[in-house]
Amino acid sequence: MAMKWEGKGFMESLPKIYAIYTGGFLAFFALMAVLEQFGLSARWIGILFVLFTLVVYAFIGVLSRTTAVEAYYVAGRSVPPVFNGMATAADWMSGASFVAMAGGVFMSGHPYMAFIVGWTGGYILIATLMAPYLRKFGCYTVPDFIGTRYGGRLTRFAAIVVLIVASFTYVTAQITATGTIAARAFQIPFEIGVWLGLFGILVCSMLGGMRAVTWTQVAQYIVLIIAYLIPIFWMSISQGFGFLPHLTYGSAVQRIMELEPVIGVGTAAVDSVEGLKALTTLHATPPEGALAAWQFVTLVFCMMVGTASLPHILMRYFTTPSVRDARSSVAWSLFFIFLLYFSAPALATFSKLQMIDPNLATSIIGSSIDKVMSLEWIQKWSDIGLLAIRDSNADGILQINEFFLNPDIIVLATPEMAGLPYVISGLVAAGGMAAAMSTADGLLLAMANTLSHDLYYKIIDPKAEVKRRLMTSRILLLIIGAGGAAVASLKLTGILGAVAWAFCFAMSGLFVPLVLGVWWKRANRPGALAGMIVGLGTGWWYLLAVRNPDAWYGLAKPWIGLDDIRFGVVGVTASALSMIVVTLLTPAPSEEIQRMVDDVRVPSGDTIIPSKA
């Protein structure tokens, strides 16, 4: 098939191509639904869903492979804003957003809504402070910007280190998510699932660089949003909240608030099961007191500023044709992300209500334990240790504090709880896979690109030829991917926790030098260096100190409620202070650099770094 992946003709036919693709996916979904009626087993439906989508992504990846520099690093800077928005949305919404977030809201209630607010509001910062200016700059990677704006190899190197630390933390979380889903769908051990997930990820990003990743990410977005929305609409209709759940689920929230005191949510569990939790937090009522409010806003702050400093997201805005497109592309990204995020609380609400409302046939709280134990989904999930029931008061009736589960399974298990056909579960598994894979693709690419472009080409061997650079980038992808899978199979921390750490690392090291690089002409090299090193160093120290209160450098107790998922607040403050102080103590940057900063703020004209064909 001789397809050109560039040029006007191709861009104009994009909507048609993806419309056909969406139709094809829905047809596949329908086929599976029919086959299920004819008795295709649940196991095979799961396998077919995951395999089918993997093959499609790999197919797109292979077709759009490339060896041209601009196409490999920034997709030829020709991606239209709406499609770039979709690709960014897929890049952005990871296993954490898809699999873990609704579960977090389900289990921990209002405090976890901070993730939803933070992960959308961050885009305001990107649009106003960063994306258009970085696009004008014309760089390939984020350290490329830092290195050129401030000058010096050491600055570039420091930026590389921050990028690798943040992205690597993030990528292990994604590989964990793909591993979990693959393990469930194929019924294989988690450790093998991890490597299988990695294989799928590498096929897309290895061959075609940014261009292949862009077009697979658009495809993955379509799958993941369909997979997320269908169960919500289904539950809303079957629970009697109408065809427009987003406008009407308010009464479902109220119903939960009425039921909570009746069934005794908030009573601590008597038993405890390792790794699982009983539901003890109220659904919509925030905890009392200023500390809780403070924790909410600091988490929002971390997630927002982290969003605006994550290199794999910023990198996506280097691919638009113009500065204006970069701006509208940010708006489209947020729109596509919003579609999923404003659905997540609805999912958590319906999922909880169907479990606790005695008027619904699916409810389990308050029924006899024997009856609950005979349900198929309860058995399946308890078999793999993600759910447990203990009859603490031995009355034979299931109370809310006798039901233990792992929050990460809510999204995956909801269709089964609601008694939907298994084909929906297969769809959700494929969606979760798409979400985790698309983010992992973007992250791996960000790391490999920066190592091959900034470390190898700009620092180690400036004379390296194009072919060699791209080859290095591919080999590095393999090595980093394998490293990530190896770390993921150790299961150090949960999905949501690892993701929050990645955000905090990125904001501690990169946010201040990036923003001041665009907005403060006086900012200079020693200042930027201090900002990155002190920021990352302080953040890291604080994380270790909070996690190990007994070690010699440990703090007895976190400062004003800033625990390990909020350490970015400390890091970014240290980074800003040190950068400003050091900059003011050292001479201003040269005339040339100052003129460059002026240029960045003007959209028209050439990019700062001349583009090479």
Site for another protein in 233-272 (CB under 8 A): 246-248, 250-251, 253-254, 257
- Nearest approach in angstroms of CB 531 to another protein is 21
Q: Least distance from C-beta 564 to another protein, angstroms? A: 21
DSSP three-state, residue 405: strand
Report the distance separating Cα 179 and Cα 497, nearest Å.
17
In the complex, minimum distance from the CB of residue 327 to another protein, in angstroms, rounded to a whole number: 4
Task: Write down the least CB distance from residue 348 to another protein, Å.
Answer: 9
Separation in Å, CA 107 to CA 102, 225, 304, 405, 409: 9, 23, 23, 9, 11
Q: Give the pair of three-digit tokens for residue 227.
A: 């997979």
Site track 293-332 with another protein (rule: CB under 8 A), x = hit: x--xx--xx--x-----------------xxx--xx-xx-
Percent of the chain as helix, strand, coil, to the nearest 5: 75, 0, 25
Contact 356, 256 (CB under 8 A): yes
Instruction: Determine, following the binding rule CB under 8 A, whether residue 345 of this chain makes contact with another protein.
Output: yes
Question: Residues 456 to 515: which contact another protein by CB under 8 A?
Answer: none
For another protein, give the closer residue by CB, 126 or 185: 126
Please give the backbone phi and psi of residue 96, each rounded to the nearest 5 degrees, phi first.
Answer: -65, -45
Contact yes or no for 444/174 (Cβ under 8 A): no
- H or E element, residue 537: helix 525-547
Q: Please report whether residue 611 would count as binding another protein according to CB under 8 A.
A: no
Q: Which is nearer to another protein, 135 or 149 (CB)?
A: 135
Shortest reach from residue 240's CB to another protein, in Å: 14
Q: Using an 8 Å Cβ cutoff, are 159 and 513 in contact?
A: yes
Only one residue has tokens 């899978």, namely 485
Q: Which is nearer to another protein, 110 or 468 (CB)?
A: 110
Asked whether position 63 contacts another protein by CB under 8 A, the answer is no
Nearer to another protein, 271 or 606 (CB): 606
What is the Cα Rg of the chain in Å?
24
At 581, list the tokens: 């102080």
Work out whether 573 is an interface residue with another protein (CB under 8 A): no
Distance between CA 511 and CA 543 in Å, rounded? 18
Q: How many beta carbons lie within 10 A of that of residue 590, not counting itself? A: 11
Q: Report, in Å, the least distance between residue 10 CB and another protein.
A: 17
Closest to another protein by CB, 23 vs 250, is: 250
Q: Is 286 in the site for another protein (CB under 8 A)?
A: yes
Chain positions 104 to 143 lying near another protein, rule: CB under 8 A, are 110, 113-114, 116-118, 120-121, 123-125, 127-128, 132
Q: Encoding tokens for residue 132?
A: 């258009």
Q: Going by C-beta distance under 8 Å and a sequence separation of 6 or more, which residues neighbour residue 157? A: 455, 459
Stretch 143-202 residues interacting with another protein (CB under 8 A): none
Residue 442 CA, distance from chain mean position? 10
C-beta closer to another protein: residue 202 or 300: 300
Give 6 or 391: the residue with its C-beta nearer to another protein: 6
Compute how many residues bind another protein; rule: CB under 8 A.
Answer: 49
CB 7 → another protein: shortest distance, Å?
15
Smallest Cα–Cα separation from 185: which of 390, 432, 398, 408?
432
Q: Is 109 helix (H, G, I), strand (E, B) or coil?
A: coil
The least distance separating another protein from the CB of residue 297, rounded to whole angstroms, comes to: 5
Footprint of another protein on this chain (CB under 8 A)? 110, 113-114, 116-118, 120-121, 123-125, 127-128, 132, 246-248, 250-251, 253-254, 257, 284-286, 288, 293, 296-297, 300-301, 304, 322-324, 327-328, 330-331, 334-335, 338, 341-342, 345-346, 602-604
